[in-house]
């Protein structure tokens, strides 16, 4: 008894298990494998670098200046004073200065720039989400295309089996004198057509499988099985597309840019220190090199931004109106697609209600035709037509089932539900 269980265990290990693939896993793998996904990390790095650079505006700003000059004229006294030269300064002057400035208040300029950098980064990420979302539709098309081909290949196999049974029966009829060689030839012609169709379907499936392999970054063999998704009974029409997030991110960026205009009107306060070595120094009456320093506070208030403030705001408002118009257009077109998609789903559901009845009737007609051929009251050609009609009815049902799933998931793609 133990030996039997061991044999069964080894047998189970030897049987190759067919791999299965789901639509969700294909979408996730294709997203991870798509080269564009690397843009997320690049956007984050660019944002961090820009933020770090802006933050350095709060550090002391240091500059070094040097100057050597010769003047054609210098300050002189209009009268003579004992022991004081007529010219108070030398004609050749030299100066080396180091300036240090520490920002105390910049009117909120640095904080505003940091907000703008983050807003631009979020906008780029939202745009990238839109581009990657389009990838899902291509995966859906390939996935459901393979499922449809699998159903057609399955129906083709059943058709070939039916033709083989018919050939066997007609061969018996030939022996009994009910049929002739022409009837056998007609069935064999249909068998050739069925085999040719099978080759075409398999070739198309292999091509779809290779494209899906490239998208997900995995090698898919011909024995891979695709799991048929389950259709949901409800179809929510709430639109949650990433395009809406992208449009909202653009509006947020414009809002921050408008707030940034106010910071350009604010005063800026800073401390400064200057140290130098020059001839003449601060004491202009001494013709010699001197070291000196100056410390103090500085107020800078530039009113030039007032000249363009109104136009800058109007330009931002115009760009915001354009974005809102794009949003409204996108929602209009998406709702139009939803209406068309809902109509297509309802049409397929009504057609599928009749598919089973059509198959039942065609099967009954085909069985009756086979009986009539056996009785010699119907030609084999007419029977083959009924076999073809039954096969077409079964293929039509299989196609409708996959098309319904495809349309349901297309509706999910349109709404992102």
- pLDDT, tens digit (0-9, with 9 covering 90-100), for 145-183: 999 999 999 889 988 998 898 888 888 888 877 778 888
Q: Average model confidence (pLDDT) for the chain?
A: 86
Per-residue pLDDT band for 8 (boundaries 50, 70, 90) equals: very low
pLDDT(385) > 90? no
Residue 304 per-residue DSSP state: T
pLDDT(414) > 60? yes
Q: What pLDDT is attached to residue 138?
A: 93
CA of residue 128 relative to chain centroid, distance = 6
Q: Mapping DSSP to helix (H, G, I), strand (E, B) and coil, where does residue 305 land?
A: coil
Per-residue pLDDT band for 18 (boundaries 50, 70, 90) equals: low
The predicted model gives 260-289 an average pLDDT of 86
Task: Output the CA angle 340-343-349, nearest 5 degrees.
Answer: 145
Q: What are the domain boundaries of the chain?
A: 18-59+106-266+301-415
Alpha-carbon torsion (377, 380, 382, 384), positive or negative: positive
Q: What pLDDT is attached to residue 303?
A: 85
- Whether a cis peptide bond, with omega within 30° of 0, leads into 365 is no
pTM over 0.85: no
pLDDT(14) > 60? no
The H-assigned helical ranges of 15-108 are: 23-33, 39-55
Ranked by mean pLDDT, which of 90-94, 159-163, 265-269, 322-326 comes out on top? Answer: 322-326
Q: What pLDDT is attached to residue 33?
A: 92
% of the chain exceeding 70 in pLDDT: 91
Q: What pLDDT is attached to residue 265?
A: 87
Produce one character per residue of 165-176: b if its CB has 16 or more CB atoms within 10 Å, e if not.
ebbebbeebeee
| The token pair that represents 121 in the structure block | 């980064």
Burial of 207: CB neighbours in 10 Å, binned 0-12, 13-18, 19+? middle
CATH fold for the domain made of 18-59+106-266+301-415: Outer membrane efflux proteins (OEP) (1.20.1600)
Higher pLDDT, 105 or 14: 105
The predicted model gives 402-411 an average pLDDT of 90
The answer to whether 212 and 385 have CB atoms below 8 angstroms apart is: no
DSSP sequence for 137-206: HHHHHHHHHHHHHHHHHHHHHHHHHHHHHHHHHHHHHHHTTSS-HHHHHHHHHHHHHHHHHHHHHHHHHH
Per-residue pLDDT reduced to its tens digit, 78-134:
666 665 565 667 778 888 999 999 988 888 889 999 999 999 999 999 999 999 999
Q: What pLDDT is attached to residue 184?
A: 86
Q: What pLDDT is attached to residue 5?
A: 45
Q: What pLDDT is attached to residue 93?
A: 85
pLDDT(197) > 90? yes
């Amino acid at each position: 008894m133990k030996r039997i269980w061991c044999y069964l265990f080894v047998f189970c290990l030897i049987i190759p298990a067919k791999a299965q693939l789901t639509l969700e896993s294909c979408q996730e793998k294709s997203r991870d494998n798509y080269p564009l996904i690397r843009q997320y990390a690049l956007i984050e790095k660019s944002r961090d670098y820009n933020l770090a650079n802006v933050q350095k505006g709060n550090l002391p700003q240091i500059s070094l200046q040097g100057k050597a000059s010769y003047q054609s004229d210098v300050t002189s006294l209009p009268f003579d004073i004992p022991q004081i030269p007529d010219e108070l300064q030398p004609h050749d002057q030299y100066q080396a200065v180091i300036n240090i400035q520490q920002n105390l208040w910049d009117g909120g300029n640095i904080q505003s720039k940091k907000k703008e950098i983050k807003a631009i980064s979020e906008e780029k990420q939202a745009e990238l989400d839109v581009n990657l979302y389009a990838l899902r539709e291509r995966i859906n098309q390939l996935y459901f295309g393979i499922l449809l081909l699998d159903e057609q290949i399955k129906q083709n196999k059943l058709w070939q089996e039916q033709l083989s049974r018919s050939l066997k029966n007609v061969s018996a009829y030939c022996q009994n004198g009910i049929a002739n060689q022409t009837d056998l030839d007609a069935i064999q012609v249909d068998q050739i057509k069925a085999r040719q169709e099978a080759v075409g379907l398999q070739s198309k499936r292999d091509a779809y499988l290779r494209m899906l392999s490239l998208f997900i970054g995995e090698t898919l063999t011909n024995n891979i099985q695709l799991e048929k998704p389950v259709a949901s009974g409800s179809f929510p029409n709430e639109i949650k597309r990433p395009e809406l997030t992208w449009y909202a991110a653009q509006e947020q960026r414009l809002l921050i840019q408008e707030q940034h205009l106010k910071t350009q009107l604010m005063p800026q306060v800073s401390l400064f220190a200057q140290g130098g070595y020059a001839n003449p120094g601060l004491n202009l009456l001494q013709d010699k090199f001197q070291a000196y320093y100056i410390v103090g506070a500085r107020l800078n208030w530039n009113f030039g931004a007032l000249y363009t403030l109104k136009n800058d705001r109007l330009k931002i408002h115009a760009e915001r109106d354009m974005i809102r118009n794009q949003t409204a257009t996108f929602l209009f077109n998406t709702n139009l697609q939803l209406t068309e998609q809902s109509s297509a789903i309802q049409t397929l559901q009504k057609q599928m209600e009749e598919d089973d009845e059509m198959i039942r009737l065609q099967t009954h007609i085909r069985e009756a035709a086979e009986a009539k051929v056996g009785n010699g009251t119907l030609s084999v050609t007419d029977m083959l037509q009924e076999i073809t009609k039954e096969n077409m009815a079964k293929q039509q049902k299989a196609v409708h089932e996959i098309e319904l799933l495809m349309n349901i998931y297309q509706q999910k793609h349109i709404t992102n539900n």
